[in-house]
């Protein structure tokens, strides 16, 4: 397991065109296990998920994002595919649908690289947005 620094930028654009951008730098852990890369980091107040830990599993053409703690969710990003999952908050559970339009992960065995994901997120058929996630691993 290796200590890494992560620069995370998340951009969300609702269907009316209003943008919300979150950017932060945090410490995390990187390791390789059974042919997959893993990134683990603690969420911050900036992300609105303080008290949660995020684990990314990057393997082949797929990324799984699991969150534990105050917010619990599992998102699967796979280019051209739609995945559905549950999102548990202190206020109850909601169904999430993720449709990934583009996914790029360029990571070396030494734990340096970047990830970019472009996806459409539908929350419980109530809210929908276009999203971009960029993670630089240093």
The C-alpha angle with vertex 8 and arms to 109 and 58, in degrees rounded to 5, equals 35
Give 70's DSSP letter.
S
* CATH number for the domain harbouring residue 110: 2.40.128.20
- Asked if 101 contacts 118 with a C-beta cutoff of 8 angstroms, the reply is yes
For the chain, the average pLDDT equals 92
Name the helix (H) or strand (E) containing 43. none
Domain limits at 84? 2-137
Surface-to-core class of residue 53, CB atoms within 10 Å of its CB (0-12 exposed, 13-18 middle, 19+ buried): middle
pLDDT band at 46, cuts 50/70/90?
A: low
What would you measure as the largest C-alpha separation in the chain, in angstroms? 43
pLDDT of 100 > 70? The answer is: yes
Residue 64 to residue 85: CA distance in whole angstroms: 11
How many folded domains does the chain comprise? 1
Query: Which pTM value belongs to this model?
Result: 0.89
Question: At 137, phi and psi to the nearest 5?
Answer: -105, 120
């Amino acid at each position: 397991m290796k200590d890494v620094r992560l620069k995370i930028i998340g951009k969300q654009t609702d269907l009316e065109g209003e943008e919300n951008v979150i950017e932060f730098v945090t410490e995390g852990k990187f390791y390789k296990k059974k042919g997959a890369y893993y990134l683990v980091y603690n969420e911050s107040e900036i992300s609105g998920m303080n008290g949660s830990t995020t684990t990314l599993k990057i393997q082949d053409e797929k990324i799984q994002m699991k969150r534990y703690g105050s917010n619990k969710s599992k998102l699967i990003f796979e280019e051209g595919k739609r995945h559905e999952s549950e999102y548990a908050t202190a206020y109850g559970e909601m169904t999430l649908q993720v449709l990934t339009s583009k996914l790029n992960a360029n990571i070396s065995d030494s734990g340096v690289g970047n990830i970019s994901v472009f996806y459409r997120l539908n929350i419980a058929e109530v809210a929908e947005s276009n999203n971009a996630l960029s993670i630089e691993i240093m």
